[in-house]
Amino acid sequence: MRSINPAIKFVSLLAMTFFLAYRFDPVLNFAVFFLSLVILIASGVGIKRLCLFMIPVLIVAAGMFFTGYRFSAGHSMPVTADAFLVSDSRWWNGLAQAGRVLAYGGLGFVFALTTDRLFLIRSFKDQFHLPQIFVYGLLAAWGIVPHMMQEYKRTRAAFRARGLSVLPVSPALLKPLLIKSVRWSEELAIAMESKGFSGHEKRTDYAPVKVRIRDFFFLAACVALMVAAAFLR
């Protein structure tokens, strides 16, 4: 899964999410979720890490289950099962809503946890023809993130050392970060230009990201899954 072209993976999984959005089928949703878990574990994603990421998804899924259970068609709701994607069975409706969250969460994690950041951006550049200035600007901005985390800790420590308690997202903490990130972005832009990057000039490509046979197989497998689901369910 990690070696699948990220742009193709993105398109395939996005198509699946749209397909699921128009289906009201808890069995399908749970099947997609379990398939996603199998793919994640087979791709080497650690169980512990996966469990941690799943916590917020499970909380939202539980919330959606009870929402669906409480507000099913006909139960004091001014809707009918024919007109909306709801069921007149409380359980079925709750499971369908919760399953949808789990299926979306699973597909999202399949993309996020099996895709290399740099590979993704380079693939978008080559397959979607994103502008160079956007691609390399994004990569440079990512490089700043660890510095920002460090600066955030430093700023919190400065407040603590002066006996001031502030909330983790207080504007007083975020203001210095904002000022510094403007300065950093200027320095970074100068450094990139001094290495010959302009964003408008022609460049060579050391390792262009290509679409290979296996990427088409992945796309075809996703389409086949959707077609099978449409006919069987």
Partner 1 sequence: MSIQLDHIHFTYFEDRKDLLPGFSASFSSSEITVLTGASGCGKSTLLYLAAGIYPHGAGILREGTVRVEGEDPAKLTPPRRCALVGMMFQNPELQFCMDTVKNELVFCLENICMDPSDMDGVIDEALEFSGVLHLKERTLISLSGGERQKVMLACLMALRPKWLLLDEPFANIDDRSARTIAAKLKEMNRVYGTGILAVDHRLDNWLEAADTIRVMEDGQLRPEVMTPDSLDPDVLESLGVIVPGHSYRPDIPPVKEGKTVLTLEHLSVHHKNEPVLTDVTAAFKAGHIYAIVGPSGCGKSTLFGALSGIFPYKGKAFLEGKDLKKLKKTDLGKIGFVTQNPQDQFVADTVRDEIMVGLKDKDTAPQVSEQVLRGIRLWRYRDISPYMLSQGQQRRLGVAALMAYDCHMLVCDEPTYAQDRRNTKAIMDGLCSQARERGVALLFSTHDRQLAADYADEIWELKEGSLHAFHQSGH
168: contact with partner 1 by CB under 8 A: no
71 contacts partner 1 (rule: CB under 8 A)? no
- Cα separation, 144 vs 58, in Å, equals 32
Shortest Å, Cβ 45 to partner 1: 19
Among 22, 78, 202, 231, which residue interacts with partner 1 (rule: CB under 8 A)?
202
Q: In sequence order, what are the residues at sequence separation of 6 or more whose Cβ sits closer than 8 angstroms to the Cβ of residue 65? A: 94, 95, 97, 98
Smallest separation (angstroms) from partner 1 to the CB of 26: 41
Per rule CB under 8 A, is residue 140 in the interface with partner 1?
A: yes
Nearer to partner 1, 183 or 231 (CB): 183
Counting contacts by CB under 8 A, is residue 162 touching partner 1?
yes
CB of 13 to partner 1, least distance (A): 24
Rounded to an integer, what distance in angstroms lies between the CA atom of residue 4 and that of residue 149? 31
Give the number of C-alpha atoms closer than 13 A to the C-alpha of residue 35, restricted to the C-beta side.
16
Q: Does 193 bind partner 1 (CB under 8 A)?
A: yes
Binding status of residue 205 toward partner 1 by CB under 8 A: yes
Residue 6, phi then psi, degrees to nearest 5: -60, -35
Is residue 177 at the binding interface for partner 1, with CB under 8 A as the rule? no
With respect to partner 1, which residue has the nearer C-beta, 87 or 155?
155
Give the footprint of partner 1 on this chain (CB under 8 A).
117-118, 136, 139-140, 142-143, 146-147, 151, 153-155, 157-165, 172, 176, 179-180, 184, 187-188, 190-198, 201-207
